[in-house]
Amino acid sequence: MKRVLDKVAIVTGGASGLGEAIARCLVTEGATVIITDLQVSRGQRLANELKCKFIEQDVADEHQWETVIRDVDGTYGRLNILVNNAGIEGSSDTNPETTTLSDWQRVQRVNVEGTFLGCRAAIPAMRRTGGGSIINISSIASVIPTPHVTAYGASKAAVRHVTKSVAMHGAKAGAKIRCNSVHPGVIRTPMVERISEGLAKNSSSSREEVMREDENSVPQGEYQEPEDIAYAVLFLASDEARHITGAQLVVDGGITMNG
């Protein structure tokens, strides 16, 4: 079943990790996908494989957002789906005492400002063609304390709040624009491996031991896969979710149930 057939979708940070899984899933389900990323060679290879378009983009640059939306509008005449996936974790194992202001600002710039700019740029484009769906990738770090990655947790909490504000605006303005957030748990991606490596440096454990401990903390007993997040995004992007807006969809194997 082609659940997003003929819809035009932008996936930021789509060259690898979660973004790659999301792009693959949307293409499989019938969408025309535009992948954006700073990883040019990797992004272009994936776009060639999936027979879709790649655009180099720094999501924290508002002028680049204008260029991307103008390009998509000019090429396809519409934008139906935006997945704000691009994000960084910042320096590993930095607590509220050791996080530098420069690291804090760098993480907020990409994760929060990049998401805000994406939403702001997409709203007029979606309104012109009758609405659309914005999906912001947050994290369970938005709802539980993250003293070891302070800047990251704060940024993802901000993404959660921006999502609800955009959702209310889209609903009250009659624009038929939905906005929801997806909150992954522990997934074996390059980002999680980097965080685990940082934690291992300040302990007697190896990176693999840190990751096994994380995996054992999941009530379902295993990591989530990138595809698990991609299917959550697919649902929110599809017309099946046409009355769902302002929601936070947690995909974490039960971690947040631990309190």
Instruction: Point out the residues that are catalytic.
Output: 152
Burial 133-149 (b: 16+ CB within 10 A, else e): bbbbbbbbbbbeebebb
Q: In what order do the strands lie in the sheet with 248-251?
A: 53-56, 32-37, 8-12, 81-84, 132-137, 177-184, 248-251
DSSP 3-state of 213: helix
Q: Which residue matches tokens 């909150």?
A: 183
CA distances from 181 to 41, 91, 236, 241 (A): 29, 24, 9, 13
DSSP 3-state of 54: strand
215 backbone φψ class: left, alpha, beta (φ>0; ψ -120 to 50): alpha
Counting DSSP H helices and E strands in the chain, the numbers are 9, 7
| Cα 178 to Cα 80: distance, rounded to the nearest angstrom | 10
Q: Answer for the pair 145, 156: CB distance below 8 angstroms, yes or no.
A: no
